[in-house]
Chain A
Amino acid sequence: MATKVVMEALSPTMEEGRLVKWLKNEGDQVKNGETLAEVETDKAIMELVARGEGVLRKRLLPENEAAPVGQLIGVIAAPDENIDALIGGAAPASAAAAATPAADGKATESGATPVPKAAAQSQGEASTPPQEKVAAPPTTAQPPRPAAPAPAAGGNGGRTRSSPLARRMASESGLDLQAVQGSGPGGRIIKRDVEAAVASGAGGRDSGVGPPAATRTASAEDFRDVALTQIRKTIARRLSESIGPIPTFYLTAEFDMERVAEMRTAMAALGDEFKVSFNDIVLKAVATALAQHPEVNAHWLGDKIRYFNRVHLGMAVAIDDGLITPVIFDADEKRMSEISRESRELAKRARERKLKPEEYTGSTFSVSNLGMFGIDQFTAIINPPEVGILAIGALEEKAVVIDGAVTTRKRMRVTMSCDHRVVDGALGAKFLQTLRRLIENPLMLVY
């Protein structure tokens, strides 16, 4: 039974993909779930996996060429199976006609290659219709699973047994079920196994440093939706008319960084494992401040505002040909060392273009730092549907007046861009006030 290999939507917004490299040659045996090729999406380089078993009979898309989502780029079939009809126009008409003796000659001449019944059925059974992938909302879009050998399969012909709920939970939390040991009858993976795996951080899709995917299952309790009041509607409409689709205003503050610098030096003196960057401390402070100000940790959804109870912090990372915002999930609940490790790992993977869609979607607020480029202060553009972004400038020594005397202090300027439909001036100012208190008294961050 033949299986079509199509260009799949490997990111929530992908419309076409460039085939970077085929990892299988024509004639190679492939298993269901095995990686066939590397595909560059609009965001990252992803693996395209086989959706069926057999021999990779045909590679229809040359390396370095792009194809729209849904286009046929290869065929997997039994070694002797006739696949001419599947590859359609790619085969000479005479071959197609010869291969389908039952086909009406007229149909062949007119270019409409008849599809043999078996092949037509196999499309439905063995391959995922790309249209479904495109239509899927970003939160549920999942990259194909790498084909790990299944240690937990338990003599089950390589198939992992799991309850439907366990599959759904694993999919929602980015967990690879192949790596989970089932405790149900016959090794069936059930809810408690997935919960245990998620809690222990095992079974992530990446075998290296633990993936920064959400560590808790997303649920409706993570946020509350608030219908728009009339005054919010009026503010939203009037201000949108005034400035662009997102009526943004900006708040700038200069923070004293002496104590942060002291803390950082003191920590570094304790040993390499305690070293953190200024940026790590700022991320931790922003996450903590957001937890205290859920009113700026929100999404504008057009007819309502979604306030989040969890802080998923996006951090803008410059990459060679653009910008991407990987997410530190539940950043408010993470220790500084975890934020430090995760942000470093995310930035590295972002530059290598190895981020997976679930790693750069779902942020509730973002931070952009151009301090390392010597930018004193700047305004960042809000990443909708978020309602705020914080732009971090360079740390510099400045002459300031303290208690009537001029002295030098390390200072840093931050600018918060606020979506005025949700965040009013005073609200943004209060958030920055909290942030200032945290950054100027960084011991509060370890409280």
Chain B
Amino acid sequence: MPVITYRDALNQALREEMQRDDRVFLMGEEVAVYQGAYKVSKGLLQEFGEMRVVDTPITELGFAGVGVGAAMVGLRPVIEFMTWNFALLAIDQVVNSAAKMLYMSGGQYNMPMVFRGPNGAALQLSAQHSQAWESWLAHIPGLKVVAPGTPYDAKGLLKSAIRDDNPVIVLEGEMLYNTKGEVPDNEEIVIPIGKAELKREGEHASIITHGKMALTAMQVADQLAKQGINIDVVDLRTIRPMDVEAITTSVRKTNRAVVLEEGWEICGVGAQVVDYIQRECFDDLDAPVVRVHQADVPMPYAKNLERAAKPDAAKAIAAVKKVMYLE
């Protein structure tokens, strides 16, 4: 099976969906001539032309709004934000227009569009450019939010996102674009939105996570396995709607849970996961659920401080041992 990068997996998804449906088009900063700030759109301008691969000025609110209008008249825009930090400028179109249009129009306007781009911290990009926005976005009824952690999931979820008639947020990662994974080329991959995946299976504890942290969780599983501790890694893949059953099935089995995410603690995605666990699995818990997340500060620029602020494998391992009463 071919091993490709996360970047190429997204590129394949875009190409296949643009070939499949000529209403699909890509729009954003540097997506066409420059082939994408992260080369996700490589070759698309050449294949589909400038009517379907559209460079925009540096006007996030503007081109997000053009995307909403295009979706209203039946096109299926894919709006690329160079990073989700820049998407803050467009948040009114995302939250007030895209997410609300079906509701406000009494069901007259579907919003078959995708907002995508890298989310979360990379390395030393400092406070304004190192933020994970999924809890903001997942808070909004009317949006769907996916956060693939592997090339396979990236391809399958972006394709589903493009085919969905509702606005779907696709959270990628600068640090993910170069990661590699198996992606079959002889079958169509479409991963249903709202389905988590049990990426590792164990009995001692569960890590529930999503996005980039799914990779961290798998490292954690590998390291703990050497110590004889086997854990479930539940990769949510979709944050909204969340696969509660996958969470509860795992926690009922292991009786212990760690919730790992890239973003901040307060009102984070993990808080919602913990709520589902306490509601559905109260009698199954042998220990309080522990969360692992970014420190509650703007991301520091200094390398050592940035490392200290980010969630990582060592912190997650300590959390697993805590819920197992090993430390």
Contacts and interface: CB of A to CB of B under 8 A. Distances in A.
B325 A190 contact: yes
B283 A165 contact: yes
B320 to A, nearest CB: 15
Contact of B287 (A168, A183, A184): A184
A81 to B, nearest CB: 32
Contacts of B287: 163, 184, 190
Nearest to A183: B325
A165 B289 CA distance: 13
Interface in A160-180: 163-168
Given A184-B287, A190-B287, A191-B255, A164 B325 contact: no
B136 interface: no
Contacts, number: 27
Contacts of B103: none
Contact of B325 (A165, A167, A184): A184
A192 B282 CA distance: 18
A191 B287 CA distance: 9
Given A165-B255, A183-B325, A184-B325, A190 B283 contact: no
Query: B-side binding surface: helix, strand, loop or mixed?
Result: loop
Nearest to B287: A163
Contacts of B325: 183-185, 190, 192
B285 interface: yes
B284 interface: yes
A192 B286 CA distance: 9
Contacts of A184: 287, 325
Contact of B285 (A163, A183, A192): A163
A185 B287 CA distance: 10
Contacts of B285: 163-165
Contacts of A185: 325
A189 to B, nearest CB: 10
A185 B285 CA distance: 15
Interface in A138-172: 163-168
A191 B283 contact: no
A163 B282 CA distance: 9
A283 B284 CA distance: 37
A166 B282 CA distance: 11
A168 B282 CA distance: 10
Interface string B266-302: 0000000000000000111111000000000000000
Contacts of A166: 286
Contacts of A192: 325
Interface in B82-97: none
Interface string A251-294: 00000000000000000000000000000000000000000000
Nearest to B325: A184
A191 B255 CA distance: 9
22 contacts: A163-B285, A163-B286, A163-B287, A164-B282, A164-B283, A164-B284, A164-B285, A164-B286, A165-B284, A165-B285, A165-B286, A166-B286, A167-B283, A168-B283, A168-B284, A183-B325, A184-B287, A184-B325, A185-B325, A191-B255, A191-B286, A192-B325
Interface of A: 163-168, 183-185, 190-192
Closest 10 CB pairs of A and B: A165-B286, A191-B286, A163-B286, A168-B283, A164-B283, A165-B255, A164-B285, A190-B286, A164-B282, A184-B325
